[in-house]
């Protein structure tokens, strides 16, 4: 499966990741719904559909970046799925991961993977609320010397993330927003 089927991904996201109830978000705010996209990105069909959707968006934006990656652990399955699909299509796209902090041994790097300063990269993420996690990845990638050319996420909660990226000179692209599921931003 390598073609992007937005309808199939939307159905899977609704059945596997979208939960209703009372939830506390990472920001400390409460919400009437929760998007556990790990249930989607670690699902065999979901991983393929997410990768196909994000790869299609990157291809539509012009030349592919040299690498994709994001904050460990959430972005790791997305990155792995995208580079696997890229490899099957013989595209020279690599992956990287951003640690929460530089490790204290080995190379001591915060950005891990086959990337070099100066390369153009896209940050990937599952859910965007305020954008905090992906913004940390952007900052670490830039500090490493990578040129961040965009951010792509599965879904935007429409809670200020796009504006936070715009303030850093980046456009947020997503496969969906909560409005696609009949949910108004909280």
Neighbours of 93 (CB within 10 A): 20
Q: Is 131 annotated as a binding residue?
A: yes
**DSSP calls for 64-92:** PPSEEEEETTTTHHHHHHHHHHHHHTT--
Q: Is 126 annotated as a binding residue?
A: yes
176 close to 156: Cβ distance less than 8 angstroms: yes
Q: Is 53 annotated as a binding residue?
A: no
Q: Is 128 annotated as a binding residue?
A: yes
Q: Is 11 annotated as a binding residue?
A: no
Q: Is 125 annotated as a binding residue?
A: yes
| C-alpha to C-alpha distance for 108 and 170, rounded to whole angstroms | 28
Q: Is 109 annotated as a binding residue?
A: no
Instruction: Write the CA distances from 5 to 2, 21, 44, 142, integer angstroms.
Output: 9, 29, 14, 33
Q: Is 89 annotated as a binding residue?
A: no
In a structure prediction context, what are the per-residue pLDDT tens digits for the chain, which is 186 residues long? 457 899 999 999 999 999 999 998 877 788 999 999 999 999 999 999 999 999 999 999 989 999 999 999 999 999 999 999 999 999 999 999 999 887 666 666 899 999 999 999 999 999 999 999 999 999 999 999 999 999 999 999 999 999 999 999 999 999 999 999 999 988
pLDDT, position 113: 96
Q: Is 122 annotated as a binding residue?
A: no
Question: Domains along the chain?
Answer: 6-179 (3.40.50.2020)
Q: Is 130 annotated as a binding residue?
A: yes
pLDDT, position 1: 45
What's the half-sphere exposure (Cβ side, CA atoms, 13 Å) at 149?
A: 16
Q: Is 94 annotated as a binding residue?
A: no
| C-alpha to C-alpha distance for 169 and 172, rounded to whole angstroms | 10
Express the helix, strand and coil content of the chain in percent, nearest 5 each: 35, 25, 35
Asked if the bond preceding 156 is cis, omega within 30° of 0, the reply is no
DSSP state of 183: -
Prediction pTM value: 0.94
Of 136, 27, 131, whose CA–CA distance to 72 is shortest? Answer: 136
């Amino acid at each position: 499966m390598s073609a992007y089927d937005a309808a199939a991904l939307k159905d899977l996201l609704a059945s596997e990741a979208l939960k209703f109830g009372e939830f506390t978000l990472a920001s400390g705010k409460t919400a009437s719904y929760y998007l556990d996209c790990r249930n989607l990105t670690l699902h065999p069909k979901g991983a393929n559909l997410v990768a196909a959707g994000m790869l299609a968006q990157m291809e539509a934006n012009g030349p592919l970046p040299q690498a994709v990656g994001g904050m460990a652990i959430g972005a790791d399955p997305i990155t792995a799925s995208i580079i696997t699909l890229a490899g099957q299509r013989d595209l020279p796209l690599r992956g990287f991961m951003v640690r929460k902090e530089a490790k204290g041994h080995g190379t001591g790097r915060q950005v891990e993977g086959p990337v070099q300063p100066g390369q153009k990269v896209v940050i990937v993420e599952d859910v965007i609320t305020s954008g905090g996690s992906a913004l940390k990845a952007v900052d670490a990638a830039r500090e490493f010397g990578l040129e961040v050319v965009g951010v792509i996420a599965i879904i935007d909660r429409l809670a200020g993330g796009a504006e936070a990226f715009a303030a850093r000179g980046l456009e947020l692209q997503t496969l969906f927003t909560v409005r696609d599921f009949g949910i108004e931003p909280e």
